């Protein structure tokens, strides 16, 4: 920990900041909303207007993979690691316009509200099965392991068209890819395992894409292929690479939203009562849970060209952390920002980003999280927190619970 003037600079993975980062984020936002952190070797941007502007600032780049590859000799990476990072470099989340628009066009319409609503019966069935399993498993349950983690992964696999017999290994690969992308893989062995999982997932999805070319079904891959962009302006390898990202990203985000959202609802009985009495208010409730303590704490960016932000000069090559968790509690933008209010409207939070990189899977995440919360509360009317504190997953980018003990 270092102190410069009134700014306290801390390591963001300290245990207390993993459990509750919001007081520290407020300290940064109030003291230095654009702060160079020697500890993180990055700029921390915490004010709402500054974070929002950086999402659309031409001088800011989303590409944080290519610069690493450029600085790292390939013989130091090894063939599997090099290939894994090449695949990740093709993810839309790491690509700037106009390439980003070209790649995103492969999914035009596939993530639209109408397509997402078609999945509502599948989501309801999956929630019902898992909620019953939680309810019938005994008085206590780990909501993360029993519902929040498997539900989005099950829905994502089915929506992508993964056969039921392959769902378990698909989910295993997706979790390991998430560990690699989000920094949860720490040891050399964990990195190797996650890189191998990405290569295995890529090979599996490439075979599935080729199968859907000849035998299309009602799934995401078939819908995207029917759009005519793949093989025209987007190559098959680029398409498959993006599918590897979708495989883990949607599940991870929605899982965190369900688990952390449930935790907060059970700690705010007045707000829990609103959702129990008014299940139709789920869409508004999900937006507030996204704002109050969403599944992502921050987004990483690179400075592409020198520019000035809040009087600070940011130089080409500098790294930026756009701290959406701080921006979403900025009192200049939200009244009573530290209060959970399921009836809050309007709610212009930045949990899904903004601009060209606005989260492609946001409609599905909202649908699955809303269904999970309302259906779980209906299936478990006595749901409550069990004894013991929840365990948080150390993650720079995500708000992720390892466990959430509940009583039913």
For the cut 90, the answer to whether the pLDDT of residue 150 exceeds it is no
pLDDT more than 70, % of the chain: 95
**Does residue 1 or residue 388 have the better pLDDT?**
388
**Does residue 6 or residue 215 have the better pLDDT?**
215
Q: What is the pLDDT of residue 267?
A: 96
Band of the pLDDT at 96, cuts 50, 70, 90?
A: very high
d(CA 383, CA 396): 30
Task: Kindly report the number of other CB atoms within 10 A of residue 214's CB atom.
Answer: 6
Q: What is the pLDDT of residues 294-331, one digit of tens each?
A: 999 999 999 999 999 999 999 999 999 999 999 999 99
**Count of domains observed in the chain:** 1
Q: What is the pLDDT of residue 159?
A: 87
Answer whether 0.85 is exceeded by the pTM.
Answer: yes
Q: What is the pLDDT of residue 3?
A: 53
Cα→Cα distances 282→72, 207, 289, Å = 47, 38, 10
Select from 169, 166, 126 the least CA-distant residue to 150. 126
Band of the pLDDT at 117, cuts 50, 70, 90?
A: confident
Q: Give the range of the structural domain holding residue 328, as residue numbers without chain letter.
A: 2-407
CATH number at residue 348: 1.10.630.10
Radius of gyration of the chain (CA): 21
H-state helical runs in 57-184: 66-71, 74-77, 79-89, 99-104, 113-117, 120-136, 143, 150-160, 167-182
H-state helical runs in 166-302: 167-182, 188-214, 220-226, 236-267, 269-277, 282-293
The whole-number average pLDDT for the span 47-67 is 93
Task: Kindly report the number of other CB atoms within 10 A of residue 335's CB atom.
Answer: 8
Band of the pLDDT at 137, cuts 50, 70, 90?
A: low
Q: What is the pLDDT of residue 87?
A: 93
The whole-number average pLDDT for the span 59-68 is 88
* Contact status, residue 177 vs residue 197, Cβ threshold 8 Å: yes
Q: What is the pLDDT of residue 236?
A: 96
Band of the pLDDT at 116, cuts 50, 70, 90?
A: confident
For the cut 90, the answer to whether the pLDDT of residue 74 exceeds it is no
């Amino acid at each position: 920990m270092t102190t410069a003037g009134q700014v306290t600079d801390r390591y963001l993975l300290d245990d207390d900041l993993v459990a509750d980062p919001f007081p520290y984020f407020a300290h940064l936002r109030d003291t230095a909303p654009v702060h160079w952190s020697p500890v993180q070797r990055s700029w921390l941007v915490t004010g709402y207007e500054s974070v929002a502007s950086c999402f659309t600032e031409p001088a800011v780049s989303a590409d944080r993979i290519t610069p690493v590859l450029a600085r790292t000799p390939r013989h130091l990476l090894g063939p599997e690691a090099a290939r894994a990072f090449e695949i990740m470099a093709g993810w839309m989340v790491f690509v700037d316009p106009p390439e980003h628009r070209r790649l995103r066009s492969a999914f035009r319409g596939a993530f639209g509200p109408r397509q997402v609503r078609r999945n509502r019966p599948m989501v309801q069935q999956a929630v019902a099965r898992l909620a019953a399993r939680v309810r019938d498993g005994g008085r206590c349950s780990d909501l993360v392991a029993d519902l929040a983690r498997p539900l989005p992964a099950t829905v994502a696999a089915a929506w992508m068209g993964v056969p039921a017999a392959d769902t378990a290994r698909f989910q295993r690969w997706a979790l390991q890819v998430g560990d690699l992308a989000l920094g949860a893989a720490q040891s050399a062995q964990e990195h190797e395992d996650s890189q191998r999982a990405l290569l295995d997932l890529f090979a599996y999805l490439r075979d599935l894409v080729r199968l859907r070319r000849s035998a299309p079904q009602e799934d995401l891959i078939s819908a995207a292929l029917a759009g005519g962009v793949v093989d025209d302006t987007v190559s098959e390898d680029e398409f498959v690479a993006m599918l590897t990202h979708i495989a883990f990203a949607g599940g991870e985000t929605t899982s965190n939203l369900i688990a952390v959202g449930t935790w907060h609802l059970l700690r705010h009985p007045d707000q829990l009562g609103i959702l129990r009495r008014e299940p139709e208010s789920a869409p508004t409730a999900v937006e507030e849970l996204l704002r109050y303590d969403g599944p992502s704490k921050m987004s990483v960016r690179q400075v592409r060209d020198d520019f000035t932000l809040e009087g600070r000069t940011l130089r080409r090559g500098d790294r930026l952390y756009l701290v959406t968790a701080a921006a979403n509690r900025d009192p200049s933008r939200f009244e009573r920002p530290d209060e959970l209010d399921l009836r809050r409207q309007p709610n212009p939070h930045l949990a899904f980003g903004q601009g060209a990189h606005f989260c492609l899977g946001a409609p599905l995440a909202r649908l699955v999280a809303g269904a999970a919360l309302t259906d779980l509360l209906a299936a478990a009317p006595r749901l409550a927190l069990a004894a013991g504190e929840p365990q948080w997953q150390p993650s720079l980018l995500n708000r992720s619970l390892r466990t959430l003990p509940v009583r039913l």
